[in-house]
Amino acid sequence: MNNLTIGRRLALGFGFVLALGLFVAIAVFYHLVELRTRFGEFEGRMVARERLAYQGQVALGNGIHYFKNTVLRGGDYPQKFAGSMAAIDRVVGDYRTLGPVSGEAQRALEEIVAGSQKYRAVIVQVVDMRASGATVVDVDKAIAGADKPIGEAFAKLLELQSAETRQAQQAFDAEVTDTQRGLGVATALMVLIGAFAAWRISRSVSRPLAQAVAISQAVAAGNLPERIEVAGRDETGQLLQSMQRMVEMFRGFAEAQAENARQHEAGMVEHRIDAGCFPGVYGTMARSINGLVQTHIAVSRQVVEVVKRYAVGDLSMDMDRLPGHQARITEAMDGVKDSLHSVNAQIQALVDAAANGDFQARGDTAAFHHEFRRMIEGLNRLMEVSDVGLGEVSRILEALARGDLTQRIEGEYQGAFGRLRDDANTTVARLREAIGGLQGAAVAINTATKEIAAGNADLSRRTEEQASSLEETASSMEELNATVRQNADNAQRANLLASQSNDAVVHGGVAVQRVVATMADIRESSSKIADIIGVIDGIAFQTNILALNAAVEAARAGEQGRGFAVVANEVRALAQRSAVAAREIKELIAVSVDKVAGGATQVDEAGTAMQEVVTAFGQVAELLAGISEASREQSQGIEQVTHAITRMDDVTQQNAALVEQAAAAAESLEVQAQGLMEVVARFKLSGLSERTRRVG
């Protein structure tokens, strides 16, 4: 790794982490897409099967209605009954074409087919019995409970459908949980790998830099290390190699000066320092020293000493004040010292300004000439490039703080400043892409929450209307119950009057007329009860449709509509049980109507044969006793209907409360989505932020 540049090490480290993150994101994305596709197919199949099951129940209800009318009236109702049974057969066939069917569901479908065939055989028996002159009561007793097997099979099919839906939901939830767990493990792995890479890269950079700092401090203290270990060929390795050459240059110059001193101390005054071995200012100093030695050995010794001090940065020594023309040497040495002092002061001032963050400071180039001027000009260029580059970075960071992601660093920069420009522009571009995606998601979430809130409000209004209708129906049933109870009391009194002596025969005639009128009222009341039961059945039908639509909307809402889907399933189950109860009540009332019709016929015959009242008075009393018992049974049946409607009213009120809670939750979600819109709208993304504010 030490043979790679720092930029390549950083690029490899972050590139590996980003590649791993991209791989995890793509894997999770495709898994979620596949999961969503499977859930959509399953949801479509379940909704279609529930709709078919409901159509089968509707066809069964129509078949039962046609069957009853066949028993009571005949006519073309057998053909209509056959059409309903054919509709049930089509439902079973369509149900099987929607995909694989479980064993229990297959058995339920077979029970429906068997029940349909048995029901067809029973209606043939009914037609034959009516043709043979059998009474309605005899026919009803012979075929009682013929529709029960197929009704139970449909109920079993719906229950299996609900169980399959719950199991599939649990399986999907478990798969989503596993996906989330895998994503967490992958994220933790990426964090660990990133931390390890950052540690290795920072360690590979910090150790050579620490070594370079230690070497610089040693050189500044006058201690030249014998050897510098260089472990790599990156920027830090190149720095250590340059410091190695610098130390060798210092050591060579110091050794040359030492050798020159030794030679002169030995009397070899012609000895010279080889200035060609030292480049730059060191060669200049060597040649100056040689020139001074040539002109004046004594002065040269002093100059050599002074120059040696100046060469190591020690400017505390002054040249002796030489007399005569040699004063020029003194002046020259003083000028060198002053120039070094000035250059050092300029360099120190620029370094202090840069250390304090002030890169606008500049050195006074007019005060220097030649190499010293070029040195100050180079430092000024360094300060200017640093000032412009850092100013651009500061401008970008200030724009980021304001949420403005449209700014970029333009211009041409070299080296580290070029990489800094590219990294800053890349960071802004990545932030702009992320915030842009977040703004788009916020717009979609805001739109979806508004649609959910509107749907819940409409559902709440319709549920309240249904609750109001049930309250009115319950009130009507209470009034009807009081009327039937009064009719039962009247029948009891008529029975008591019939048991009186034959002296009340005249009064019995009047009582018979009242009984005839009363039976007419009972017949009319029974017809109204049948109509009310039809209304209740319709309410159950509409409630079932409403619950089905609510379940579909909740499934589309996904995770946020899961609770509402459970409530919709419960409402639908209650509606189905209400429909079954209404049909059973309708059957009881049909039997009561038949009994009332029989009693009315007998009372009519008693009115026309009033002359035979004396001889047949015992038979009349027996008939009145039967009427009293039938009225009592009718009163009990209507009380059961009233109780069932009251329970439906309570359940509907609870449903209305749950719908209001769901609407409140949807409104809260809409407020939170609006808050997300406001947060992401603070960022400016080349016009996209303004469109987000307008949509919000």
Q: Which tokens is 640 given?
A: 């059961």
Query: Lowest-pLDDT range, 7-11, 558-562, 653-657?
Result: 558-562
d(CA 37, CA 403): 38
Q: Does residue 245 share a domain with residue 210? A: no
Q: Does residue 250 share a domain with residue 396? A: no
Q: Which residues contact 594 (CB under 8 A, 6 or more apart)?
A: 72, 136, 137, 140
Q: Does residue 499 share a domain with residue 358? A: no
Residue 404, beta-bridge partner list = 684
Average pLDDT over residues 489-508: 67
Q: What is the pLDDT of residues 46-57, one digit of tens each?
A: 777 778 878 888
- Domain for residue 61, yes or no? yes
Q: Could you tell me if 256 and 277 are in contact, meaning their C-beta atoms sit under 8 angstroms apart?
A: yes
Q: Which tokens is 40 given?
A: 């959509």
User: How many domains does one find in the chain?
Assistant: 4
- Domain for residue 565, yes or no? yes
- Domain for residue 647, yes or no? yes
Q: Does residue 248 share a domain with residue 200? A: no
Q: What is the pLDDT of residues 345-363, one digit of tens each?
A: 888 888 888 888 887 888 8
Q: Report pLDDT for 688.
A: 47
| Helix locations, 499-561, DSSP H | 505-557
Q: What percent of the chain has pLDDT above 90?
A: 0
Tell the burial category of 604 from Cβ atoms under 10 Å away from its Cβ (0-12, 13-18, 19+): middle
- The band of 539, judged by pLDDT with boundaries at 50, 70 and 90, is low
Q: Does residue 423 share a domain with residue 351? A: no
> Torsions phi, psi of 404, nearest 5?
-90, 105
- Domain for residue 410, yes or no? no
Q: Which tokens is 195 given?
A: 């931390």
Prediction pTM value:
0.30
CA angle 577, 582, 584 (to 5 degrees): 95
- Domain for residue 409, yes or no? no
Q: Could you tell me if 284 and 263 are in contact, meaning their C-beta atoms sit under 8 angstroms apart?
A: no
- Domain for residue 407, yes or no? no
d(CA 63, CA 522): 27
Q: What is the pLDDT of residues 604-625, one digit of tens each?
A: 676 676 567 556 666 766 776 6
CATH number where 232 lies: 1.20.120.1530
Q: Does residue 249 share a domain with residue 148? A: no
Query: Where in the sequence is the domain holding 346, given as residue range(s)?
Result: 326-401
Q: Which residue among 265, 300, 317 closes a domain?
A: 317
Average pLDDT over residues 531-558: 64
3-class DSSP state of 405: coil
Q: Does residue 3 share a domain with residue 82? A: yes
Q: Report pLDDT for 544.
A: 64
Q: Does residue 388 share a domain with residue 264? A: no
Q: Which residues contact 309 (CB under 8 A, 6 or more apart)?
A: 315, 316, 317
Q: Does residue 613 share a domain with residue 535? A: yes
d(CA 123, CA 567): 40
Q: Report pLDDT for 600.
A: 58
Average pLDDT over residues 649-663: 73
Provide the mean pLDDT of the chain: 74
Q: Which residue among 201, 223, 245 closes a domain?
A: 223
Tell the burial category of 283 from Cβ atoms under 10 Å away from its Cβ (0-12, 13-18, 19+): middle
Q: Does residue 336 share a domain with residue 301? A: no
Q: Which residue among 294, 317, 340 closes a domain?
A: 317
Q: Does residue 655 share a domain with residue 601? A: yes
Q: What is the pLDDT of residues 283-312, one digit of tens each?
A: 787 777 778 667 666 677 777 788 888 777
Q: Report pLDDT for 661.
A: 78
CATH number where 65 lies: 1.20.120.30
- Domain for residue 254, yes or no? yes
d(CA 647, CA 642): 9
Q: Report pLDDT for 296.
A: 60
Residue, of 531 and 321, whose pLDDT is higher: 321
CATH number where 616 lies: 1.10.287
Q: What is the pLDDT of residues 144-168, one digit of tens each?
A: 677 788 878 888 887 887 777 777 7
Average pLDDT over residues 197-212: 72
- Domain for residue 406, yes or no? no
Average pLDDT over residues 509-534: 62
Q: Does residue 194 share a domain with residue 127? A: yes
